[in-house]
Chains A and B, each alone.
Chain A
C-alpha cells in the first residue's frame, strides 16, 4: 500500500514537472530552498536562532532590498545600474542640505514636505540620464553607470566638503522609527514593495515589455514595442528607488554621510544574481531577488553572530556568488 501510494505521488510529481508553469516556478524559487537549508545550518551557531537576530537581518536588508528592486528592473531589460549606491548617497545628502540648519554644513532649512519629493525627483532624473545615455546614445551601461557612480560620489562629497549632516527633521526620519507590531515599518514597506513589483513584473503590460526587451530587443522592436522607452523607464525606476533607499537609510542613521552606502552596489548585484536574475536579461523574478537579498542578510548575520573575523567576510560572500552562478547554470540545463 505504502509503496503504491509512494509511486502515485512520484508519478504525479513527474507529471507536474512536465507542466511548464510548475517546473519554471520551482526552478525560479530554488533560492528559498537554499535559504531554508542555510537557516537550518546556521541554527547551530549559538545565539543565532533568535527573534531579535531575524528582525535585525530584515531591517538591514531593507536598504539593499530597495536597491535590488530597481537593479532587477534594469537587469530584466538586459542592462544594469552600478550607480545605485551613489544615487542613494547623493540624494540623501541633497535632501539633508536642503533641510539642514546647522553650521558648518550648508543648509536651506526647507521643509521635508518639499525636500522629500525633491530628492525623489532628483533620483528619478539621474535614472533618466542613465537611461537616455544607454538607450538613445547607445553607450554601454557599464560605462555610463560607472561614470555616474563616480561623479555622484564626488558630488556628494563636494556638497558639504566631506562633512556629515546629522539630525534629520522628525517628519523625515519618522519612517525609520515607526513599528508595526514588533516589526519596523521599513520592513513592512519593503515587503509591500516586493509584492507590488512582483505583480508589476509578472502581471502587467510593463512587466511583459521588460522581459521582451531583455529577451530579444530586436524582435521586441519588430513586434511594435519601443525598447528605448522600456529601458529608460527601468533606469528611471532604479534611480527613484535608489532615492527611496537614500531616504530610508539616512532616516535610519539619522544622518547623511559622504560615504553612505559605499560599496553597496556589490551587495545589490550579488543579491540579484543569487536570487536568479540573469545578467543576460529577460530572466528572473522579484520574489527570487528578495530571496537573494535575505540569503545575503542571513549569511552576513551568521558571520557576525558566529564571530568570524571581518577579514573573511568578502571571501565567504564571493564564494556564495560562485555557488549561485553554478546553480544558475544547472537550472538552465534542467529547464
Chain B
C-alpha cells in the first residue's frame, strides 16, 4: 500500500512553541495518516511531550497551522481535541482510581437521560455497563467485573481500560505518552498487542516512548525530535534491516548523525 497517496489524518505545519527563552519546538512539520502507528522519539527535553500536548489541546502553538481531516483547526482545549476525535492517554493521570471501570470508560461523555429540560441528567448505568463489557471484549481484555474500582486493577489492566476508552469511542487518533513505562515485561507485551489491535480498528496512533525496542515492534514509522527540531524519520514496517534503521535513529536522537554530516562537510571543504 502506498501510504503517501492517502490524505493525512493530521497535518501540522511550521509549529513553533516557546516557554520563555526556551524554544521547545522549532518549525515542526508533522503528519499522521489514518490507521498509521507513528512513534515519536527523542531525548528528554527534545519536545515530544510539547508536541503531543499541542495536538491534545493542553498547550497552544505560538505559530503554525494544524489540519485535521483536511480542515484547518485550532485546538484550544482537551475538549476541542476530543470532539475532533483525538484521545490522549497520559501515563500518570490516565484513570480515576475511586471510580469503577464503567465510570472511567465513559468519563467526560456519559450517556444520560435529561429531565426538566436538562436540569437533571440521570446516568444510563445499565447501558454504559453493557457497552463497557462489549468494548473490552472486542479488545480481548478480561477484567472480571466492570464494576470494580480501577484502583484494584493491575498496571496492565488499567492500561487496557485507558486504551478501551479511546477505542470504544470511535476515536480517529490516539496519543500515547509512554504506554509501557509503568508496566512489567509481560504486561508491556500485552499492552503492545492491544495497541497493535487499534490499527485493525481503524485508529491512528502516535506513541512517545523511551523504549526503542517497544517502539520498533509496534510502529509503522518513527519520527525523531532533537532540541525541538524534527531530525528525520524512518519507515519501520518496510525496513528490511531493522537493526540498521535502529542505529540510524539512535544517531539522530543523540545528534551524532548531524555531527557526522557536519564533519563530512568540513572534510569535503578541506579536500577542495
Contact with A along B47-89 (1 / 0, CB 8 A): 0000000000010000000000000000000110010000010
A222 touches B98 (CB 8 A): no
A215 touches B97 (CB 8 A): yes
Given contact pairs A203-B125, A204-B120, A208-B110, A215 touches B145 in the complex (Cβ within 8 A): no
Name A280's closest neighbour in chain B (CB-CB). Answer: B98
Contact with B along A244-281 (1 / 0, CB 8 A): 00000000000000000000000000000000000000
Name B107's closest neighbour in chain A (CB-CB). Answer: A223
Chain A neighbourhood of B90, CB < 8 A: 222
Determine the distance from Cα of A200 to Cα of B112 in the docked complex, in whole angstroms: 13
Chain A neighbourhood of B152, CB < 8 A: 20
B78 touches A204 (CB 8 A): no
B93 touches A208 (CB 8 A): no
Q: Is the CB of B121 closer than 8 A to any CB of chain A?
A: yes
Determine the distance from Cα of A200 to Cα of B115 in the docked complex, in whole angstroms: 13
B123 touches A203 (CB 8 A): yes
Of B96, B110, B112, B145, the contact of A216 (CB 8 Å cutoff): B96
Q: Is the CB of A21 closer than 8 A to any CB of chain B?
A: yes
A208 touches B96 (CB 8 A): no
Q: Is the CB of A205 closer than 8 A to any CB of chain B?
A: yes
Chain A neighbourhood of B120, CB < 8 A: 200, 204
Chain B CB within 10 Å — which of A20, A220, A283 has the most?
A: A20
Number of A-B residue pairs with CB-CB distance less than 8 Å in the complex they form? 78
Q: Is the CB of A102 closer than 8 A to any CB of chain B?
A: no
Chain A neighbourhood of B94, CB < 8 A: 219
Of B93, B122, B145, the contact of A219 (CB 8 Å cutoff): B93
B100 touches A219 (CB 8 A): no
Chain A neighbourhood of B99, CB < 8 A: 208, 211-212, 215, 282
B93 touches A224 (CB 8 A): no
A222 touches B88 (CB 8 A): yes
B98 touches A20 (CB 8 A): no
Q: Is the CB of A19 closer than 8 A to any CB of chain B?
A: yes
A24 touches B109 (CB 8 A): no
Interface residues on A, range: 20 to 34
Chain A neighbourhood of B147, CB < 8 A: 19-21
Q: Is the CB of A214 closer than 8 A to any CB of chain B?
A: yes
Chain A neighbourhood of B149, CB < 8 A: 20, 24
Q: Which of B105-125 contact A (CB under 8 A)?
A: 107-110, 112, 120-123, 125
Q: Is the CB of A313 closer than 8 A to any CB of chain B?
A: no
Q: Is the CB of B95 closer than 8 A to any CB of chain A?
A: yes
Of B82, B107, B109, the contact of A220 (CB 8 Å cutoff): B107
B151 CB, nearest partner CB in chain A, Å: 9
Name A213's closest neighbour in chain B (CB-CB). Answer: B96
Q: Is the CB of B225 closer than 8 A to any CB of chain A?
A: no
A150 CB, nearest partner CB in chain B, Å: 33
B123 touches A216 (CB 8 A): no
Q: Is the CB of A206 closer than 8 A to any CB of chain B?
A: yes
Q: Is the CB of B148 closer than 8 A to any CB of chain A?
A: yes
Name B125's closest neighbour in chain A (CB-CB). Answer: A203
Q: Which of A183-229 contact B (CB under 8 A)?
A: 200, 203-206, 208, 211-212, 214-216, 218-225
Of B82, B93, B98, the contact of A282 (CB 8 Å cutoff): B98
B78 touches A222 (CB 8 A): yes
Name A214's closest neighbour in chain B (CB-CB). Answer: B98
A224 touches B78 (CB 8 A): yes
Chain A neighbourhood of B103, CB < 8 A: 208, 211-212
Contact with B along A140-175 (1 / 0, CB 8 A): 000000000000000000000000000000000000
Q: List 29 A-B contacts (CB under 8 A).
A: A19-B147, A20-B145, A20-B147, A20-B149, A20-B152, A21-B145, A21-B147, A204-B112, A204-B120, A204-B122, A205-B112, A208-B103, A208-B110, A211-B98, A211-B103, A215-B97, A215-B98, A216-B93, A216-B97, A219-B95, A220-B96, A221-B78, A222-B78, A223-B78, A223-B96, A224-B79, A224-B82, A224-B108, A282-B99
Closest 5 CB pairs of A and B: A224-B108, A215-B98, A223-B108, A205-B121, A282-B98
Q: Which residues does B use to contact A, with CB under 8 Å?
A: 58, 78-79, 82, 88, 90, 93-100, 103, 107-110, 112, 120-123, 125, 145, 147-149, 152
Task: Given contact pairs A200-B120, A212-B103, enumerate 14 new A-B contacts (beta carbons under 8 Å).
Answer: A21-B145, A203-B123, A204-B112, A205-B121, A205-B122, A205-B123, A208-B99, A212-B96, A216-B98, A222-B93, A223-B78, A224-B78, A225-B108, A282-B96
